[in-house]
């Protein structure tokens, strides 16, 4: 590519070009990274047969019943030759190395960045999706790599990362691929992170509790109307997912993107904060993220910092102890403060931990035990 032309690429095209380049240069010998086209025919799980003989997907609340040759709403599962199959198994379209703070994951320290992986497709249709060129496509419309689960593990070990993140698109829709990777990751002492919108049925979610170490769930809005109009789904299944993960004992962090005029009014925020406080409690970290115009909502302005700061203040006043603001580096809400004495115990800049003052997760001044997993040998951050 001409050096002068790279700056003319839009963000989506640059991300896809970067992913292809990264697979060749970062993931090892390009000859061993095989491009793949088309779709897979891996048997899909969580399928039930209806009384009329049709096959229905029981993975998420969409409950799709596609006809022969058709796909479900997610574009990643469909009916082929009378069988319900995963169309994306072993066909990731994004491979990247990311700091876990990007996901965002603030209360679970790891020694290194995570290897992120994702396929085409999504079971929702968020109007502001930042990765719509992957999430709103079929595997036949994206540039994919042929990657078996064991090859994912080999690459992660080669990179000397200690975690694998199912990130960028919705991992629920490639659950068979994710579960097989996670099983092998556990055997290799690799942690797993699932970044999800939480639009899933209870049975497959319970199966993931045995395999996934950390969940980052998008609590995208606080009313059914918002989910119906902007997300293309419903809120109640997400609330149920959040409660089930909380009760499972797995590490949970929550992220809410605040969109001007859509879900950022004080009335909407109060509704969401009240539910969070009553159902998830004071110790689950909550990230309010700044909206940047994208996809179908390019006509809206970015979220003002004052809105993020007000949301953080309201949540903390409701008793939620660890509330962060994201996509706006340099703000007070980027750091972790001790609820016991107010000391800044973890300092961050963007996605980088600059310094941690914790010892075994405890505040050095008042000995308050911070919830989460903290590394004592990360005093100078991850830079």
Please give the pLDDT value at position 10.
Answer: 37
CB 206 within 8 A of CB 233: no
Of 88, 80, 155, 72, nearest in space to 116 by CA? 155
Please give the pLDDT value at position 111.
Answer: 79
Neighbours of 367 (CB within 10 A): 11
Please give the pLDDT value at position 3.
Answer: 32
Which residues, 6 or more positions from 279, have their beta carbon under 8 angstroms from its beta carbon? 239, 242, 243, 246
Walk me through the domains of the chain, giving residue ranges and CATH numbers. 94-334 (3.20.20.70), 335-383 (no CATH)
How far from each other are the two terminal CA atoms of the chain, in whole angstroms? Answer: 30
Q: Walk along the chain (383 residues) and give the pLDDT tens digit of each residue.
A: 333 322 222 333 334 433 444 443 344 443 355 566 689 999 999 999 999 999 999 999 999 999 999 999 999 999 999 999 999 999 999 999 999 999 999 999 887 899 999 999 999 999 999 999 999 999 999 999 999 999 999 999 999 999 999 999 999 999 999 999 999 999 999 999 999 999 999 999 999 999 999 999 999 999 999 999 999 999 999 999 999 999 999 999 999 999 999 999 999 999 999 999 999 999 999 999 999 999 999 999 999 999 999 999 999 999 999 999 999 888 999 999 999 999 999 999 988 899 999 998 999 999 999 999 998 766 655 54
Q: With 0.85 as the threshold, say if the pTM is over it.
A: yes
For tokens 């989910």, the residue is: 227
Of 120, 110, 122, nearest in space to 156 by CA? 110
Using only C-alpha atoms, what is the Rg of the chain?
Answer: 21
Cα(39)–Cα(137) distance, rounded to whole angstroms?
12
Instruction: Tally helices (H) and strands (E) across the chain.
Output: 9, 18
CB 162 within 8 A of CB 110: yes
């Amino acid at each position: 590519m001409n050096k002068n032309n790279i700056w003319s690429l839009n963000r989506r095209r640059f991300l896809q070009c970067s992913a292809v380049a990264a697979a060749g240069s970062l993931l090892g010998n390009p000859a061993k990274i095989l491009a793949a086209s088309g779709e897979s025919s891996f048997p899909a799980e969580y399928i039930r047969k209806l009384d009329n003989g049709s096959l229905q997907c029981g993975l998420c609340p969409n409950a799709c019943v596609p006809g022969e040759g058709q796909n479900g709403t997610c574009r990643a599962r469909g009916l082929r030759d009378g069988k319900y199959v995963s169309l994306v198994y072993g066909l990731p379209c994004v491979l990247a190395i990311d700091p876990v703070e990007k996901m965002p994951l603030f209360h679970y320290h790891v020694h290194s960045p995570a290897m992120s992986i994702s396929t085409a497709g999504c079971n929702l249709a968020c109007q502001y999706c930042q990765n719509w060129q992957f999430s709103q496509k079929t595997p036949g419309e994206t540039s994919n790599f042929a990657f078996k689960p064991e090859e994912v593990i080999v690459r992660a070990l080669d990179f000397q990362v200690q975690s694998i993140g199912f990130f960028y698109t919705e991992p629920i829709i490639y659950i068979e691929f994710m579960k097989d990777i996670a099983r092998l990751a556990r055997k290799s002492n690799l942690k797993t992170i699932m970044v999800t919108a939480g639009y899933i049925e209870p049975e497959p979610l319970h199966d993931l509790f045995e395999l996934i170490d950390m969940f980052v769930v998008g609590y995208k809005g606080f009313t059914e109307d918002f989910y119906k109009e902007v997300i293309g789904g419903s809120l109640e299944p997400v609330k149920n997912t959040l409660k089930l993960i909380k009760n499972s004992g797995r590490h949970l962090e929550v992220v809410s993107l605040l969109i001007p005029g859509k879900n950022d009014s004080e009335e909407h925020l109060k509704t969401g904060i009240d539910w969070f406080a009553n159902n998830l409690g004071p110790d689950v970290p909550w990230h309010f993220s700044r909206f940047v115009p994208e996809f179908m909502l390019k006509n809206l302005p970015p979220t003002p910092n004052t809105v993020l700061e007000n949301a953080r203040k309201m949540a903390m006043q409701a008793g939620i102890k660890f509330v962060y603001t994201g996509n706006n580096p340099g703000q007070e809400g980027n750091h972790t403060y001790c609820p016991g004495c107010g000391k800044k115990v973890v300092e961050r800049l963007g996605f980088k931990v600059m310094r941690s003052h914790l010892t075994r997760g405890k505040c050095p001044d008042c000995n308050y035990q911070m919830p989460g997993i903290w590394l004592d040998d990360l005093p100078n951050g991850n830079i």
